[in-house]
């Protein structure tokens, strides 16, 4: 079953907005195309691949979405400068094969905000503590979007809004905050891209 949905028409002179779920896209109306990918790295990669292979390349990709804060007191909207995969053991794979898979990706954004992406919903505990040593925020699609953009030689921006603290309350907090987060993300698009 496919989870992706393209809203609007991709054109070579406009960015393609990429979001995981319809809840994050509910207030986007800036006249820009929106790709809803589904949750997780595989869904994001597959949706982007199928969408971009079927038509026109956009001017850039802009991944909008919610993220969990891995560090206390981190709130608001952030543009990501580094993204890592937290569920791929890059060091072990290098030792086994001599090849680097899933290396951190450096993006054009200043500011030093790091995002950890993985297919695991982070909800506190030792996993959160370990990730906080490497990154500021956690999500489930950012790395996939950035990696696809790099392979396709497309400019990319990752814009993440803190929706929860990536703790034991996150599964309850995210549904309560996603609508307001979607408004903030839509306001950013209107201000920065429209």
Two structure tokens written together for 114: 């790091």
* 184 within 8 A of 77, measured Cβ to Cβ: yes
Domain range enclosing 166: 5-192
Distance between CA atoms of residues 39 and 139, nearest Å: 10
| Phi, psi (rounded to 5 degrees) for 61 | -115, 140
Q: How many domains does the chain have?
A: 1
Q: How many CA atoms lie within 13 A of 77 on its CB side?
A: 16
Between 24-28, 86-90, 97-101, 103-107, the lowest mean confidence (pLDDT) is in 86-90
Q: What is the pLDDT of residue 48?
A: 95
| Phi, psi (rounded to 5 degrees) for 162 | -65, 120
Two structure tokens written together for 3: 């989870």
What's the whole-model pTM score?
0.91
27-55 confidence digits (pLDDT tens): 998 799 999 999 999 999 999 999 999 88
**Percent of the chain at pLDDT above 90?**
68
**Percent of the chain at pLDDT above 70?**
96
Q: What is the pLDDT of residue 56?
A: 87
Kindly state the average pLDDT of the residues 85-95.
Answer: 72
**Confidence band for 100, pLDDT divided at 50, 70 and 90:** low
CATH code, 35: 3.40.50.1580
Between 68-72, 86-90, 157-161, 162-166, the lowest mean confidence (pLDDT) is in 86-90
More confident call, 176 vs 169: 176
Model confidence at 93: pLDDT above 80: no
């Amino acid at each position: 079953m496919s989870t992706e949905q393209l809203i609007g028409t991709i054109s070579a002179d406009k960015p393609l907005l990429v979001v995981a779920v319809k809840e994050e896209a509910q207030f986007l109306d800036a006249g820009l195309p929106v790709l809803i990918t589904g949750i997780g790295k595989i869904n994001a990669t597959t949706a982007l691949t199928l969408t971009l292979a079927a038509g026109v390349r956009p001017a850039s990709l802009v991944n909008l979405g919610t993220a969990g804060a891995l560090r206390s007191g981190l709130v608001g909207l952030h543009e990501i400068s580094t993204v890592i995969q937290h569920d791929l053991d890059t060091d072990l794979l290098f030792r086994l094969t001599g090849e680097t898979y899933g290396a951190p990706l450096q993006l054009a954004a200043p500011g030093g905000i790091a995002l950890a992406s993985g297919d695991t919903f982070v909800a506190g505990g030792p996993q959160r503590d370990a990730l906080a040593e490497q990154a500021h925020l956690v999500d489930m699609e950012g790395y996939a979007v950035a990696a696809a953009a790099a392979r396709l030689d497309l400019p990319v921006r990752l814009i993440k809004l803190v929706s929860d603290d990536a703790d034991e309350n996150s599964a309850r907090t995210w549904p309560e905050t996603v609508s307001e987060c979607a408004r903030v993300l839509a306001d950013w698009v209107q201000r920065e891209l429209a």
